[in-house]
């Protein structure tokens, strides 16, 4: 079961990266820059480069280089956080909106592709199982298990 889960996660990662390549080439964005934009757009509670490093597990120097590119190219703006002069939020700009819109469509199409042939009842059951697994993981991370 563990090997199957690891293999599944690996295949899904490879398939997602392959799916993104065409759009990234079209947008002239490195995939890491695209991933950063999509992470910020899909997760509004996370707003800093350190959030990206911590949650997405992308190396800090890679995040730094790509955030710098996104700022330079006008897709992101930096905004100082009041009360913490060391903390800077990353804000998606108007220029990023079409990229994010295309990215969300790509993500939706990707999910539909991997769920192709799975009926609605099984999709709902899978969502329930994944929600329970996430709760179990949260408990484990809190040290409750």
Indicate whether 53 and 81 sit together in one domain.
yes
- Is 10 domain-assigned? no
| Shared-domain flag, residues 86 and 27 | yes
Mean pLDDT confidence for 59-70: 96
pLDDT of residue 69: 96
Give me the domain span that covers residue 92. 20-114
In this structure, are 134 and 107 located in the same domain?
A: no
The band of 144, judged by pLDDT with boundaries at 50, 70 and 90, is low
108/66 Cα distance (integer angstroms): 24
Q: Within a domain: residue 5?
A: no
> DSSP of 27-79, one letter per residue?
HT--HHHHHHHHHHHH-TT--SHHHHHHHH---HHHHHHHHHHHHHTTSEEEE
In the chain, the number of structural domains is 2
Instruction: Say if residue 41 is in the same domain as residue 101.
Output: yes
Residues 86 and 145 in one domain: no
At 145 the pLDDT is: 47
Q: Is residue 104 part of a domain?
A: yes
Q: How far is CA 12 from the centre of its chain?
A: 14
Higher pLDDT, 116 or 6: 116
CATH of the domain at 87: 1.10.10.10
Clarify whether residues 86 and 127 are in a common domain. Answer: no
Q: What is the pLDDT of residues 1-59, one digit of tens each?
A: 777 888 998 999 999 999 999 999 999 999 999 999 999 999 999 999 999 999 999 99
Same domain, 106 and 126: no
Q: What is the mean predicted confidence (pLDDT) over 115-129? A: 95
Residue 26 and residue 84 share a domain: yes
Residue 66 and residue 132: Cα distance in Å, rounded?
35
pLDDT in tens, 76-103: 999 988 877 778 999 999 999 999 999 9
Closest CA to 89 of 53, 50, 35, 34: 50
Q: Are residues 105 and 126 in the same domain?
A: no
Task: Supply the pLDDT for residue 86.
Answer: 78
In a domain, 49, yes or no: yes
Q: Does the pTM exceed 0.75?
A: yes
Would residue 41 count as lying in a domain?
A: yes
Asked if 105 and 128 sit in the same domain, the reply is no
Residue 80, classed as helix, strand or coil, is: strand
pLDDT at 116 over 70: yes
């Amino acid at each position: 079961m563990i090997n199957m889960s690891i293999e599944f996660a690996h295949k899904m990662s490879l398939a997602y990266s392959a799916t993104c390549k065409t759009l990234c080439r079209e947008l002239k964005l490195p995939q890491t820059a695209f991933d950063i934009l999509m992470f910020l757009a899909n997760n509004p509670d996370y707003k800093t480069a350190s959030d990206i490093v911590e949650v997405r597990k992308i190396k800090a120097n890679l995040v730094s280089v790509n955030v710098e590119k996104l700022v330079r190219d006008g897709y992101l703006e930096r905004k100082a956080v009041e009360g913490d002069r060391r903390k800077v939020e990353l804000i998606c700009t108007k220029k990023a909106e079409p990229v994010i819109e295309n990215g969300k469509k790509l993500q939706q199409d990707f999910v539909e592709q991997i769920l192709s042939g799975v009926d609605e009842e099984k999709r709902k059951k899978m969502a329930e199982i994944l929600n329970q697994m996430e709760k179990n993981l949260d408990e484990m991370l809190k040290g409750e298990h």
